[in-house]
């Protein structure tokens, strides 16, 4: 009876720890999507005059946005580094302003990302909002063609155990790149 009770307590502790880890990962993923959406939606021409999006790869996206509300536009990069989604924020420096001499802060914003061939997908102004292929741009993507970005991330705190990986996705239309009639 003691062995049975001990085994039960061990299982409860293991499952509680696993569920807590999964919920923390999901909450973190949702918070990241909120930040990502706000930052990308307000992408803007850089302080040095560069186009709002500079890099548009399958696992890397770099754009300019004023993410901290000051007078300068930061260069923001989201990229996959192994199983970690990282974010670099670079403030321009010098006169004239230059991003290469500015300071960069790197943050790991999500761990346990399941390897995927595509995290970022890009769409032009023909995207109808429904189809997963209409208007999708093929790599290499020309940044000036981008009007909408979709991010798809799968996370799994322990691939050897249940539950299944958690999928986080969102689409962001970039305000300053909209074509209005």
Do residues 74 and 68 make contact, with C-beta atoms less than 8 angstroms apart? yes
- Verdict on whether the full-model pTM lies above 0.85: no
pLDDT in tens, 107-165: 998 888 887 768 999 999 888 777 666 788 999 999 999 999 999 888 876 666 666 77
Which of the pair, 46 or 21, is modelled with greater confidence?
46
Cβ contacts of residue 58 below 8 Å, gap of 6+?
117, 118, 119, 120, 121, 139
What pLDDT, on a 0 to 100 scale, did the predictor assign at position 181? 38
Q: Distance between CA atoms of 22 and 158, rounded to whole angstroms?
A: 9
| Whole-number Cα distances in Å, 181 to 59, 178 | 33, 10
Token reading at 137 = 């741009």
């Amino acid at each position: 009876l003691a062995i049975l009770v001990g085994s039960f307590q061990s299982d409860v502790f293991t499952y509680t720890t696993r569920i807590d880890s999964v919920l923390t990962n999901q909450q973190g993923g949702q918070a990241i999507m909120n930040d990502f959406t706000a930052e990308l939606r307000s992408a803007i021409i850089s302080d040095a005059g560069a186009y709002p999006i500079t890099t548009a790869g399958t696992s890397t996206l770099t754009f300019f946005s004023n993410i901290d509300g000051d007078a300068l536009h930061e260069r923001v990069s989201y990229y996959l580094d192994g199983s970690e989604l990282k974010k670099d924020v670079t403030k321009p420096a010098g006169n004239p302003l230059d991003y290469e001499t500015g300071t960069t802060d790197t943050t790991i914003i999500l761990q346990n990302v399941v390897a995927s061939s595509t995290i970022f997908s890009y769409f032009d102004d023909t995207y109808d909002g429904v189809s997963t292929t209409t208007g999708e741009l093929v790599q290499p993507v020309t940044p000036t063609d981008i009007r909408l970005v979709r991010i798809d991330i799968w996370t799994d705190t322990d691939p050897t155990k249940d539950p299944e990986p958690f999928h986080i996705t969102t689409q962001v239309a970039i305000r300053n790149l909209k074509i209005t009639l």
